[in-house]
Amino acid sequence: MKIGILGTGVVGQTLAGRLSGLGHEVIVGTRDVSATLANTKPTPYGLPPYSVWQKDHPAVKLGTFAEAAAHGEMLLNCTSGHASLDALKAAGERHLNGKVLIDVANPLDFSKGFPPFLTVCNTDSLGEQIQRTFPQVKVVKTLNTTNAMVMVNPSLVPGEHNLFLSGNDDGAKDSVRKLLRAMGWGDSTIIDLGDISTARGTEQLLPLWVRLYAKFQNPMFNFHVVSGASSQTR
């Protein structure tokens, strides 16, 4: 499948590498290709710049947001939450319409240091904002409640743990489940919360996630929901 990923950060790189390794044709989108390749600074997490990563992943192509969106049969938003709407507008509505968009971003603001705060919460979510702005896009919120390495390899966290799905289109969510299965997420680990408004709940897990990260000094953990109900979680 042709996949377009918006965002060249740690999450975008990690998902691009994994999906390319699974045989998908991946283009990663950025605002300015030349600037992205010219950047020699390590990421905030100490990883090498995108240009170094690109040399190790020659099958993954780099293009503009519009080029990545036009290429992808399925799209992933891996941009910073505060920049997501602008990035998607730069990608172009005509390149987005009718496609499944996996929204991995969170509306976190680090401008005042750590821990960050949510710029959208309680009565709205970034996932909903994207869906309202692009009504013909099939937005599915998932993968936003765990570390990038765990996203692509859930076995890094021992035992049972969960992902959440939010979205208005059941067919789109089925397509996303198929992709998640290929990355190692079993059906029993994926909890469908309902329509896109339920993204409010998963985005509001992030203040807890960052505090757990500060406590453990390690991002290799995830949430596990234990239910006494007899019904299936899906």
List 4's β-bridge partners, or say none: 27, 75
pLDDT computed for residue 234 by the predictor: 46
| Cβ neighbours around 224 below 10 Å, total | 11
Q: Each residue of 185-219: pLDDT tens digit? A: 999 999 999 999 999 999 999 999 999 999 999 99
The domains found in the chain, sorted by start residue, are 2-216 (3.40.50.720)
pLDDT computed for residue 233 by the predictor: 45
Report, as ranges of residue numbers, the positions in the chain whose pLDDT lies below 70.
230-234
pLDDT computed for residue 230 by the predictor: 56
pLDDT computed for residue 184 by the predictor: 98
For 141, the enclosing helix (H) or strand (E) is: strand 138-141
Q: What angle do CA 82, 31, 203 make, to 5 degrees?
A: 25
pLDDT computed for residue 229 by the predictor: 72
Supply the DSSP symbol for 221. Answer: -
Q: Which pTM was predicted?
A: 0.95
pLDDT computed for residue 114 by the predictor: 87
Handedness of CA 47, 43, 161, 175 (dihedral sign): negative
